[in-house]
Structure 1
């Protein structure tokens, strides 16, 4: 006999996904399919019922932040294509939430399912800029392949400006190797090197001195990325 409710409540969905998060790899997709059968609705109808709460977040935002997005045998089983880039009231997509929370696997799955790598929130922050701000090297590596490395925030800062401010040596080196333009000036007229000077970012300044004759197309050979790659087995293949 069909349930008296047309669709499950958002709370019920959240509880189910919370339990599924700690189960086998395909648990979340399976849990949602079970709910769809219980309420006799399609997966797309179920997904539609998840949008949106008072903050404009979808259940995918919550799942991304908690790292409970998993692979599934049917890539569109959750109807991801229809709302994967939906934004909350702050302009954040689910991928923004995954990046901000350092949920590398969730970010990878969203990227694989077609999430925009260049989506910006209300402050003009892209996913790559958020990864750099949080100094998450593996996340930066994941996003730098395909994202607009030259994107700027509302204040005109590139991801290199952000790395320079925090004196993040490894992230800065990766960005330079990928060809970021270090001559770009933000809305205050500052290049990344000048941001580094203001913030006494000695490691960044030293990096630029090391790379005085640096060619962006050159391959890194003087440090080991294996530990980073191992963090998300095979995702960089």
Structure 2
């Protein structure tokens, strides 16, 4: 009986001690303002990459390849004569494929010749030379212009300007939101960025007509818009 009483007293004492322990503190979420913004800046391209090719046809693959090599070397020499070094001219693709025709008598296809395509990419560091490069290449036997892309050597500088514009816009939006909510911005909690580059489209049909023109080929690089996106979070300080 005495043992049972001692156990009951111990259980009651333990329960009482547990009841006296303070409750765990409740974490309160700090109010925040989160915004995303886009900054833009325009850049004028000062360089270009153009793909120029030579396509030849002959009864045999060897003859087509030999003729192609002669013409393509003449094209490269003409481009280099404009002051463009060999390290800025690289082979993009080389293809050999047969020409076939269907014989209704034998009901079979037969090879009538071979085509060879050799395409090089020329990195033009003076954008005003693009037209001259095309004219020189076409005059020496090039008959394919598959792409023309403009870019800026100052892209990093323009990208940072776009980021600055995006951050400034994000902060202005956040300050307006904080003021409308009756408070102000506190410390910056997070800032992240993303980047996208959107050059204007250049239709291939326009490029083909320009390349085929007998006069000097006119080329306009236009301008390109660089977009930068940022996301930011600030602590919101309520008004007093």
The TM-score bracket by the shorter chain reads: under 0.3
The structure, 1 or 2, with the larger RCO (C-alpha pairs under 8 Å, 6+ apart) is 2
TM-score by length of 2: 0.20
Higher strand share goes to which structure? 2
Higher helix share goes to which structure? 1
TM-score by length of 1: 0.21
